[in-house]
Every structure is written in C-alpha cells, then in structure tokens.
Copies of this chain bind each other. A is one copy, B any other.
C-alpha cells in the first residue's frame, strides 16, 4: 500500500490533537476519516471545532477554501454526506476498514495497552497503528498485542495544527516498512509537516528533552534572582528563538566557529561552556529536595501573563504561523525570496 494511494484513517480520541489530525488527514482529498470518541456530545463537538482547524490548515498550505464562504456546520455536513468523514459510536465500527489507526487517548499505560489490544482485534491485519503519546513508549503500549511489529509513536508538537514537527518513534521490534510508511505519509508534496525518525526510545523523545533541559536552567536562573521570568522570556525571544527558527543549534555553532566550524567554536568557547555546564541548575520538579524554585517561578509567570484568553492565544498563534511561513519560503543566494 503506497502512501500516495487513498488512506482510510480511524482516529481514536478527538481532543485538540485528534481534531487537528482529522483536519490534516481530510486536507488530502482522497482520504476517508473515521472518528471515535466517548464524549456524549461528540457529533456536535466535531461540527463546531473541526471547521476551525480545517480553515487554519487551508490558509497554511493554500488549499482553496474559505470559512466565510461556507458556514462551519455545513462544511462538516458536506464532508459527512460525501462519505469523507464518518462519525462512529463504537471503536469496532471506526476501525473496521482502516488502513491507519491513530490514537490520541488518555496518557495512561493501562488504557493504552488495553485499547491497542482491542484495536488489533477489530482492525484489518494490514492497518498501521500510530499513537500520539508524548510519554509512553510504543514498546510499553504494545504489551497486550499479538503482533509487535505494527505500533509506533507519531508525536506531534503543540499546537499540532501549526507546528511542523512529528517525532516518529518506533519500538525496537517495529517493522522498518511501517516506520518508512509513516515518514513518507507526512512528507507528501505540499505537506507542511516535518517528520523525523527517532532511532531509540527514550523518555521525552528529543523535542521535549531539549525543551526540558533549557527549562531546568531557566528555573534555576529565576530561583537565583539572576533574572525574572518575564525578562528571561524576552531574552529567549530576542536571541535563541529566532536563531533556532532560522538554523538548528549545531548549524548555528558551525557558522559561529567561522572556517573551523563547530570544532573551532568548541575550542574557543570551551572554557566558558565547561564553567556553565559545571554550574548548571539541578532542580527537581518532584519530591521535596531542590524544588523551592517552583513557588517562585509559578508566581512570577502568573504575575507576568495571568490567564491567557482565547483572543490572546489567537494573536500568539498568528505570529507563530507567520514565523513558520517564513521558514517554508525559498531564498535565493542574494537573500531575496524566490
């Protein structure tokens, strides 16, 4: 089964990530999407929220579609009447004809293990199994499955309707073909997504490990009164954020080292870097030791930002989308857009 042929995707669990994934899969016109969730108002919820994600997606990848020209409810009604979107009341019917089953349920080991065993029993034997978990490895989730070659993590990044990253994390026994299928699916021409295959299961995968490493130091600097939380955010936005949006960390230091690249950089800055590494914050987020920072950080962040309104979030997301739009532009050698 080629990634280029029509897919029939069963989505299990339709929270923010599930709805966002539904919009993504439906943006490919030959796909059929089956959705299942246990919430009582499921159909009304899908009718209300899906159009928001569909219109966001279309404005990003330039599909011809305007939320103004078609009332939101009629968009979902027409997807349903054309058979492209099917709303299910049982797991079994949702999975019955799937080529891909994708799960965004609770982050709970028991729930994942028993749900995958149920899915395996009702889905076609060839169907691909993807979990959107941010923390429970595929090798743990598949404990009650018969076939240990089918399941892999496809971890999106918040907000999933805007962020290009998908971390594809197979279990040691996941078949290479199934990994490649997932990678290719999200790399199709026109896709704004950037799937990356992680070679080994590790807690937090890669994106969150990098984020949590920086966060730990950020909390230490606030705890030590080197800088307050708001000023630390300003520093990040005025330096590392845009740098790493334009180039990764390794490429940046390759440039920073001049002709000798990152090797020269590590030699030149090695002294300062080692001093910083030796003195890094070693706070904890759980337990009773070295958690004093939590109260101070939470108070400063609440003071600085308060409760974020839906309108404020929209403004923030508009900026994020524009930044990602810049990343997707081509640039000629003289720096002009092409």
A residues apposed to B, CB below 8 Å? 134-135, 157-158, 163-165, 167, 194, 196-200, 202-204, 206-218, 221, 224-227, 229-251, 253-256, 259, 261-263, 266, 270-277, 279-280, 283-287, 294, 297-298, 300-302, 304-305, 307-308, 311-320, 322-324, 326-327, 329, 331-336
Contacts and interface: CB of A to CB of B under 8 A. Distances in A.
A131 to B, nearest CB: 15
Given A163-B239, A218-B249, A237-B248, 13 more contacts: A157-B238, A158-B256, A163-B238, A165-B239, A167-B235, A196-B231, A196-B235, A206-B232, A210-B232, A215-B253, A246-B319, A262-B301, A318-B335
Contacts of A317: 335
B199 A276 contact: no
B302 A194 contact: no
A323 B326 contact: yes
B251 A304 contact: yes
Nearest to A331: B315
Contacts of A329: 319, 322
A203 B236 contact: no
A279 B209 CA distance: 10
B238 A164 contact: yes
A242 B321 CA distance: 9
A323 B227 contact: no
A227 B308 contact: no
Given A157-B239, A218-B210, A255-B308, A196 B245 contact: no
A198 B211 CA distance: 22
A55 to B, nearest CB: 12
Nearest to A324: B242
Given A203-B272, A263-B298, A335-B318, A244 B241 contact: yes
Q: How often does this chain occur in the complex, in copies?
A: 2
A194 B236 CA distance: 11
A254 B273 CA distance: 30
B250 A245 contact: no
A242 B327 CA distance: 9
Contact of A236 (B248, B287, B301, B315): B248
A326 to B, nearest CB: 5
5 contacts: A206-B235, A216-B280, A229-B250, A251-B301, A314-B333
B259 A307 contact: yes
Contacts of A302: 254, 261-263
A134 B232 contact: no
Contacts of A314: 333-335
A328 to B, nearest CB: 10
B227 A207 contact: no
Contacts of A230: 248, 250
Nearest to A280: B213
A160 B283 CA distance: 32
A301 B216 CA distance: 26
A226 B206 CA distance: 8
Residue in A231, A249, A259, A312 whose Cβ sees the most chain B Cβ within 10 Å: A249
A2 to B, nearest CB: 24
A301 B116 CA distance: 39
Nearest to A231: B196
